[in-house]
């Protein structure tokens, strides 16, 4: 196989798959799969347990729960409610809500003006914010014994603010002292079939360079001062990834092709580095900064953002 | 005259006018007017110089420059450019740009979802943000000797964030350390004829309770840690103000009315407190939280926001 | 009482109330009220049965159902579902859905850029449009025996299009031949307490001069060629109305006032015309084109638009 | 060379280039190029003069002017003004504005909710609409002897309206009788380097299947009843196109490769059909309905829409 190049994914699940495809065993990474046939929801939990596993996976130690629900792109209200409950269950697992009273800041990452990147802002738009009410009218204003303070911010992207997103969040966290941050972001997947059908929830925050806008700095417990749970939905594939993937497949198919047996024989004689050179140039540099997304991305992003808001609203109800 | 009640204005100019109407001299407040006949632009500078003046005016010590330009509501590009230059001139006067290198955070206050309150967010949308470019590529990336770092944030309103706006700004200022903040906000005027035709620039920041969304806490040098210049445009009148004003005028007119001379004579026999009682109840409590705004507010707010962005972009060019 | 002046309402209910306040009997107009105590929903049906009634009411012959639901401005999902069902019931009554197959064009009137006027566009945004699917894949594509074709258009306002809204709708109706039009519009009420808590459904279309943008021409069966059912929600009060109302109350209160008995006696000596003259000037002409609306209009309009979309989606499911 | 497959472009210029690449002479198609070095603007005029040329090109007989301006994606106000004037010049050439009085309907095609498809709606947002003013106040209201009526509509896309865009436009044209339609649309290019740097203006209307949303029916003089000038800007590349192109290049490079000379020799032995089969499957069907677009598409589309609005506003000033 050709060496991996320019392949980018924000999904731990897809990172794991790449190694499996190559039959590489990764120590320190545990995978668990569950499939709910009736509702056609597949849940994969990737647990990166050691620093070695983290290095190989290129993702920090922690738990990554991925929910694949093919019907998520379809306007079925009942189905969305079930996915919403699933997300709620995972959030409860990853957030340490042991304390009686709890305060969370939701951060809607991404660019509201670019449709596939607007997931975070849209989720923030539909939250039932309570922090100011409790601050003003006291603990019992919400009619509960337990206080759940929900606040939210849509920080914008660096081209709009001139600031690293982490600077804004760290500043807001220091002033308003939430117990945790939940960061919502649109992600890049490797496989276009996963777009708008997948939700990844992790307790590791946001890694540098992930998301659509490629924010450079990490949003993690280390950088903002409180635990960060991340909820991400892949809405784009990097253009370079889709092209690289297709060409890799072309070469693989040539090697196996009956019609082109001759080509295959020759190709097998070349090493990965040589093939890599061949492909590299074809992924034109102007493809950097380009992404692939479906034409109906407006409807699917809107719909999934509701499903996530719903889970968050229940968590804090 | 009836005592003032429920009259609200964010314009220092209008506050001053009220006292003038009652022939009240305010010590510690200096007024200066200039009228440019050719361009029909009137500039009024109110300087509150003493604590006593501040108490009487209900506004902090500082300089308030008001620019009244009746044509501001009209789509005349050339005219807007001239107003833009006027604003630029005042910003230079109020901002201490003495230093070679300078860094400013623009804050677009208000609610993007409520048209007359969207001025601040719209201004932020059209800025040429540079801070991240200079941080990344160094001082000469912009082709200038002098470095002007411009960053911006649209914090949202308390109902959306659950946080006081000042908490967000203070946090961001502490992290990113600008030399000054420029806060843009939609204001409430007393006189509906001033709507969308007036720009107020002051070096005192934003007072508590001003703006449309009535943010409770001040955004000033004391609360955020760096000087705050405020740019405001009145886009609404409080509903209670418009009703109270009209009724006050009705009573005044009755007192002078020839036809109703009898009413006038009787009314003059009653004191302000009695008349105040009469009017108070008629300003129904449900008018609180209501504002008056013109039907074409979408076009005028959009247009003026460009004019202000333009001034800011030139300031940092 | 002073003669009515500058009072404007798009609600048949409020028009009726004005005559009742003056104890004027209107022949040809029938009123029916029902109150559902448990859910706190009041339904008033005004039936204008004769041309004489229409002239007096200033509204065309037809049925006007008004639903007043104080909780409509509050984010209670269950309550909104019940109101939605109520709207659905009334739509079924007013639309002649006798035919097996049915095709309706929903028109989202108003200006998306001005929050209280955006109700119509927001409702259109959330509809499950089916006409193109059935046209493409045939009657059974939707899994139903009965075909309900739903199409929608957001025509914009005259300042944006340069065209009368009725010209656009008539053109679209002639090309696409729906059996009926449902027009959604934001309305002006007289009483600010009705804002965002009231839904009016009528089988008479849209009258000239109603709505916020004051479209001049009617949208009715006569002008577009098919029956027009209108759904309206009052989101604004005319500024002139709120001022005129308050002053009328002031004069009435003076006439009754114990403290100002003298004023009352004198006032009673003057006739309506004299008082009218007094008030008229105070409603400054610059108040024309101004409206009053609540500060949280963004949230309430968004919420009610969902409730109406929901009713329409069920009607065509 | 491999046969062309799944390559899609809305630019006549690119269609022409494909044949040139293959050294195919097309009769009935004339090409003219001009390059303005100083301003770095390249203007290519493709004139399809015969039905035969039209068939080969897959585009109707007519004139297609393409303006390539690399700086168009950059925020240089002066440059944009020059491009704007260039567009104005071409519009004057293609629109028969011979008559004294003239009336044009601008149609903003595309989906406002999907950023790269929002070009048409954005252009419409910034027009100075005059038709209603002239209709209301007469010919001299605009202070001109000559009357230029400008109207505009943003019809939405089929998923939102349930109607073919052409049905809406035809209906509106029949009612309001403009002399011509100018349709603005976001296009698909073949070459990602052309995105947001190219403007195509043609007198042939919009072909079936062009644009991002793939409206199925043509918008042309035949279908709407008046001449249709189209202004298009490529903002996306079809995902299948980008992948197909890359793979074609890979194969071409293998054939020429020194390192893989063996592969080349074998490949040359296979015919186009065999290679086509090989590639076809790799362009996964799920890539249909996917497009490639740059991450900063929000800024570039906003900027270019201003440049086009500006040209139209001058044309009708």
List the CATH number of the domain containing D30.
3.40.50.1450
- Whether residues D145 and D181 share a domain: the answer is yes
- Whether residues A268 and A208 share a domain: the answer is no
- Whether residues A199 and A228 share a domain: the answer is yes
When pLDDT is cut at 50, 70 and 90, the band that residue B213 belongs to is low
When pLDDT is cut at 50, 70 and 90, the band that residue B145 belongs to is confident
Does residue B277 have a pLDDT over 80?
no
CA distances from C87 to A160, C93, C102, C146, C166 (A): 43, 10, 19, 22, 25
Cβ–Cβ of B292/C290 closer than 8 Å? Answer: yes
Q: Which residues does chain D have within 8 Å of residue A269's beta carbon, measured at their own beta carbons?
A: 262
Instruction: Report pLDDT for A1.
Output: 35
Average pLDDT over residues C164-172: 97
Interface residue of B118, B293, B305 to substitute, partner C, most C CBs within 10 Å: B293
Does residue D273 have a pLDDT over 90?
no
Cα distance from A81 to chain B (closest Cα, Å)? 24
CA distances from A283 to A235, A276, D7, D261 (A): 21, 11, 18, 21
Residues in chain D: 317
Which letter, b or e, does each residue of D111-136 get, where b requires 16 or more Cβ atoms within 10 Å of its Cβ? bbbbbbbbbbbbbbbbbbbbbbbbbe
B156 touches chain A (CB under 8 A): yes
Q: Are A153 and A124 contacting, i.e. CB atoms less than 8 angstroms apart?
A: yes
Q: What is the per-residue pLDDT across C216-242, written as a single tens digit (0 to 9) for each?
A: 689 999 999 999 999 999 999 988 888
- Whether residues B117 and B252 share a domain: the answer is no
Closest partner CB to D174 (pick from C152, C162, C174): C174
- Whether residues B90 and B106 share a domain: the answer is yes
B123 touches chain A (CB under 8 A): no
**Cα C32 to Cα B86: distance, rounded to the nearest angstrom:** 61
- Whether residues D131 and D275 share a domain: the answer is no
Instruction: Report pLDDT for B245.
Output: 78
Q: Which chains touch C (3 or more CB pairs under 8 A)?
A: B, D
A170: CB partners within 8 A, 6+ apart: A223, A224, A225, B171, B175
Closest partner CB to D242 (pick from A243, A269, A294): A243
Range of the domain at B168: 12-236+294-315
A1: in domain: no
Cβ–Cβ of A159/D293 closer than 8 Å? Answer: no
- Nearest residue of C to residue B273 by CA position? C259
Instruction: Report pLDDT for A26.
Output: 80
**Cα B82 to Cα B197: distance, rounded to the nearest angstrom:** 14
**C to D CB pairs, distance under 8 Å:** 98
C303 touches chain D (CB under 8 A): no
Helices B165-176, A165-176: axis angle to 10 degrees equals: 130
User: Counting Cβ atoms within 10 Å, is residue B249 exposed (0-12), middle (13-18) or buried (19+)?
Assistant: middle
Cβ–Cβ of B290/C287 closer than 8 Å? Answer: no
- Whether residues B57 and B88 share a domain: the answer is yes
Smallest CA-to-CA distance from A46 within A70, A10, A88, A71 is with A10
When pLDDT is cut at 50, 70 and 90, the band that residue A257 belongs to is confident
Average pLDDT over residues A143-152: 84
Instruction: Report pLDDT for D111.
Output: 95
A179: in domain: yes
Q: Which residues does chain D have within 8 Å of residue A277's beta carbon, measured at their own beta carbons?
A: 259
- Whether residues D148 and D232 share a domain: the answer is yes
**Cα D156 to Cα A136: distance, rounded to the nearest angstrom:** 44
| pTM score, whole prediction | 0.92
- Whether residues D109 and D124 share a domain: the answer is yes
- Whether residues C187 and C56 share a domain: the answer is yes
C131: in domain: yes
Smallest CA-to-CA distance from C237 within C182, C281, C198, C179 is with C198
Smallest CA-to-CA distance from B255 within B240, B241, B270, B243 is with B270
Q: Are B53 and B29 contacting, i.e. CB atoms less than 8 angstroms apart?
A: yes
B199: in domain: yes
Lowest mean pLDDT among A5-19, A91-105, B252-266, D157-171: B252-266
Closest partner CB to A171 (pick from B132, B162, B171): B171
D47: CB partners within 8 A, 6+ apart: D29, D30, D31, D32, D62, D63, D64
- Nearest residue of B to residue A129 by CA position? B162
B273: CB partners within 8 A, 6+ apart: B3
Smallest CA-to-CA distance from C279 within B273, B262, B260 is with B260
ipTM for the complex shown? 0.90
Does residue C279 have a pLDDT over 90?
no
C150 touches chain D (CB under 8 A): yes
- Whether residues B131 and B167 share a domain: the answer is yes
Cβ–Cβ of C170/D175 closer than 8 Å? Answer: yes
**Cα C55 to Cα D174: distance, rounded to the nearest angstrom:** 34
Q: Which residue has the higher pLDDT, D12 or D123?
A: D123
Q: Which residues does chain C have within 8 Å of residue B259's beta carbon, measured at their own beta carbons?
A: 270, 274, 277-278
Strand positions, DSSP E, chain B: 29-36, 41-48, 62-68, 102-108, 148-153, 180-189, 198-202, 228-238, 290-294
**B to C CB pairs, distance under 8 Å:** 144
B4: in domain: no
Cα distance from C130 to chain D (closest Cα, Å)? 6
Return the SS3 of A88. Answer: helix
Smallest CA-to-CA distance from C251 within C233, C268, C228, C234 is with C268
C252: in domain: yes
Instruction: Report pLDDT for D1.
Output: 35
C222: in domain: yes
| Average pLDDT score, chain B | 87
Q: Which residues does chain B have within 8 Å of residue C263's beta carbon, measured at their own beta carbons?
A: 254, 263, 266-267
- Whether residues A177 and A250 share a domain: the answer is no
D2: in domain: no
**Cα C55 to Cα A296: distance, rounded to the nearest angstrom:** 50
Instruction: Report pLDDT for B1.
Output: 35
Q: Are A241 and A6 contacting, i.e. CB atoms less than 8 angstroms apart?
A: yes
Q: Which residue has the higher pLDDT, D264 or A4?
A: D264
Cα distance from A121 to chain D (closest Cα, Å)? 14
**A to D CB pairs, distance under 8 Å:** 142
**Cα B205 to Cα B184: distance, rounded to the nearest angstrom:** 10
| Most confidently modeled range among A138-147, A280-289, D178-187 | D178-187
Closest partner CB to A162 (pick from B125, B151, B154): B151
- Domains identified in chain B, total number: 2
Q: Which chains touch D (3 or more CB pairs under 8 A)?
A: A, C
**Cα B84 to Cα B64: distance, rounded to the nearest angstrom:** 17
When pLDDT is cut at 50, 70 and 90, the band that residue C2 belongs to is very low
Does residue D313 have a pLDDT over 80?
yes
């Amino acid at each position: 196989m050709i060496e991996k190049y320019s392949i980018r994914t924000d999904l731990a699940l897809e990172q794991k798959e790449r190694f499996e495809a190559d039959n590489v065993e990764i120590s320190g990474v545990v995978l668990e799969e569950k499939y709910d046939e009736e509702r056609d929801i597949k849940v994969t939990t990737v647990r990166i347990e050691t620093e070695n596993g983290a290095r190989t996976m290129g993702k920090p130690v922690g738990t990554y729960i991925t929910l694949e629900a093919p019907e998520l792109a379809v306007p079925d209200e009942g189905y969305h409610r079930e996915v919403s409950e699933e997300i709620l269950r995972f959030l409860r697992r990853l957030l340490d809500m042991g304390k009686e009273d709890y305060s969370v800041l939701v951060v809607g990452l991404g660019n509201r003006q670019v449709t596939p990147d607007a997931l975070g802002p849209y989720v923030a738009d539909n939250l039932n914010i309570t922090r100011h009410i409790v601050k003003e009218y006291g603990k019992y204003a919400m009619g509960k014994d337990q206080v759940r303070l929900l606040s939210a911010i849509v920080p914008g992207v660096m081209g709009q603010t001139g600031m690293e997103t982490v600077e804004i969040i760290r500043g807001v966290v220091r002033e308003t002292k939430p117990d945790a941050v939940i960061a919502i972001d649109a992600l890049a997947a490797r496989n276009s079939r996963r777009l708008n059908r997948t939700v990844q929830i992790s307790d590791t925050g946001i890694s540098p360079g992930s998301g659509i806008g490629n924010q450079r700095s990490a949003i993690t417990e280390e950088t903002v001062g409180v635990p960060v749970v991340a909820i991400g939905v892949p809405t784009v594939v990097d253009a370079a990834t889709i092209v690289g993937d297709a060409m890799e497949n072309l070469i693989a198919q040539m090697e196996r092709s009956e019609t082109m047996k001759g080509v295959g024989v020759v190709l097998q004689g070349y090493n990965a580095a040589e093939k890599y050179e061949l492909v590299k140039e074809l992924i034109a540099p102007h493809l950097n900064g380009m992404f692939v997304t479906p034409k109906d991305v407006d409807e699917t992003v809107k719909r999934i953002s509701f499903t996530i808001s719903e889970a968050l609203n229940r968590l804090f109800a």
